Each structure stands twice: as structure tokens, then as C-alpha cells.
Amino acid sequence: MKPLANLRVLELARILAGPWAGQMLADLGADVIKVERRGAGDDTRGWGPPFVEGADGKKLGAAYYHSCNRGKRSITADFEDEADMERVRTLARDADIVIENFKTGGLKRYGLDYKSLKAINPRIIYCSITGFGQTGPYAPRAGYDYLIQAMGGLMSITGIDEPTRAGVAVADLFTGIYAAGAILAAVHRRHETGEGAWIDMALLDVQTSVLANQAMNHLVSGEAPGLMGNAHPNVVPYQPFETSDGRAIVAVGNDGQFARFASILGVPELADDPDYQTNAARIVNRERLIPILSERTVRMTRAELLAALEREGVPGGPINNIAQALADPHVQARGMRVELDAPHVAGGTLPQVRGPIVIDGEPMVAERAPPMLGADDDDWEWRAI
């Protein structure tokens, strides 16, 4: 039995942050019922191409939707229909957890806000995910990942020639992960106290929090970090290097690794030079050091450099595209790609990238493919799946 097999989750969320949290809980065994607006459903069902092809040749929704809704059941509701809203409230009455990402206060008119649901289910753990949180001057605003990456400082330290967003919606994804963690903390507390909780997750809070060392660099130095391309603000050398036939990443994390890297390149004396002997010195003298190292790496092929790094215990690797990353032998050995039974999909299975959690040797991944819109409309009851 999976760890969360006895938890019931009502998901009133769409797009990515809320569904990502719900999928994580589903992977861990929770029974997740996703409520979608009748007709179009979750916005991401239309965020294609590419679209998943159905067994009947029709489109079953965008790949985007299928990336974050594994393991769930889908029911549809007209939010202006009181009978539908009463059915949703009935589900909430017996749910352990509600995840919602409506604008602040948006569910009050339907009797689905925290105060209303707490009145009928005092043990409810209610997780609200918004762009800016339940308080503060921006609370009423809608928040999207791209906007949050810009406002939260991430774009100012990402890119080479101009501020650049990350290639995936990291503010949404981090928020989903933090939300799942907060939910499980509230479940643990409920075991002790019997009390539910209202969790306030804001994308801007999360983005600000995960600035991590870059935020601390500013707090300590008083200076705002800027664009550094692929270099690292606190570690040198920690970047791509050109070889005779392509680029490779070298990630030197300590002085011993630097000594071995210098030896690989035929300049072992650099490790004893006071200008480069320590990481702090290498940061100060970065602009002189990197050309010296680069002049040596271009004499080697990428395969030669990577083999030498592996042999000497210096972290390094290729810059893979997504196809190459998924085809990597280690990624394959870890079983990161899975095939879920899906009779409604062309070919009968749906490929997925599983979540990263492994407990007692068992990868935590839901066995149910993402649901077709309204697939469970005929069954509004909580039941074993």
C-alpha cells in the first residue's frame, strides 16, 4: 500500500501549480478527484500541439495537460449551477484535502471557500494557491509563472544578453512541490490535534524563497546579482567549456577537484598558484583563469574531456537536449520513463515521466493515466480506485 492510500483529495485547480501538487499526492497513493469546468475543462487541455491521440483517432487533449494530471479522476461541473456546487460540497464534506487556485476570494460565492468548507468539515486541509497570496497589496491580482519569474528576480539572473525565463514554469512547479509538502505537514499535525488547516501558497513567495544563494549574496553584499550566463556566481570553474567538437559542462565544487581538473588539462601548476589555489581566489581572478582553461579544453574532444573528468572524479557532463536526456542510460536505468495503461489512447499506453520519489525501492508513480474530461461524471462518490 502506498503511503497516502487513505487520503482523499478534491482538486479545484487548473493549469500547473495546483495540478502538480495533486499529481504528487496521487503518485503517493491519494485518491484525487479533479473538478473541471463543464465544456472546456482544465485550460491546459487546449495548450497544444502536440496533442495525445485517442484510440479513435481524435485528440484527447494537449501533452501539457497529460504531464500534470496522472492518477486522478475527472468530474465536470457548471459553477453557476447550484446542484453541481452542492455535489462538489458533498465531496468536500468527506475529503481530507482541498487544493484550489482560484483568485483570492473567488470561491466564496460558490460556498467553496475555506470558511464555508470548514463549517461542514472541521478537519479539512485547504490549500489555496494564488499568484500573490491571501494578503498584501497584490492579493487581488492574477499571477502567471512568466510574470512571477520576472517580478521575483529570477529572470534578472538568467540569460546571457537579456533577462530570460527558465525553460519550464519553475515558479509553478516549485509552488506545487512546496504545496504538497505543506499539505503533508498539515496532515501530520492533524494526527496530533485533530485540526484542519488553511494553507496560503503564493507563487511570488515561492519564487522569492528559491532565489536561495543569490538572495543571500545580495543580503550580505548589498549588491544585486546580475546576468552571468552559464557561469556560477559563487563557484569557479563551474560552466560550459568548448572542446574541439562541442561543449561540455565542468562543475568544480572544491579545491581538490580543481587541482585534478588542472592536471587533466596539463597545467597542474595552477593548483599551487595563489591566484587560483582557492575558490575565493578563483572568483576574484575568474577573467584570467577561464581563458587559460578554455585554451586547453579546445585541444581535446568532448569525449576525451568527459572520460578524463570521470576517471579523475571531477564532475562533468554533456549538454543534452530533452530527447538525449530521456535516452541517457542512467535515466533509463532509474526507470524515469513509464508507460501507463490507457485503452482510450492510440496504442493502448501513455508514456509519462514519473515523479522522482522512491520509497523502499518502489518508485512512487500513479498507475492511472490522466483522465479524459468528465470520465468519472457518473460516479461522484468517494470509493477505492
310 three-class SS: helix
For 119, other C-beta atoms within 10 Å of its C-beta total 10
- Strand ranges, E, within the chain: 8-12, 31-37, 51-53, 59-62, 72-77, 97-100, 125-130, 197-202, 238-243, 246-251, 316-318, 337-341, 349-353, 358-359, 362-363
Nearest residue to 237 via CA among 221, 224, 223, 255: 255
Nearest residue to 367 via CA among 343, 346, 334, 339: 339
Annotation marks residue 31 as catalytic:
no
What sign has the CA pseudo-torsion 164, 174, 375, 336? positive
Phi and psi at residue 250, in whole multiples of 5°?
-120, 125
Which amino acid appears at position 183 of this protein? I
Active-site hit among 96, 172, 200, 376: 172
Which amino acid appears at position 88 of this protein? V
Question: How far is it, in rounded angstroms, from Cα 290 to Cα 237?
Answer: 7
Question: How far is it, in rounded angstroms, from Cα 158 to Cα 177?
Answer: 22
Say which residues have a Cβ less than 8 Å from residue 37's Cβ, sequence separation at least 6: 76, 77, 78, 79
Give the active site residues. 172
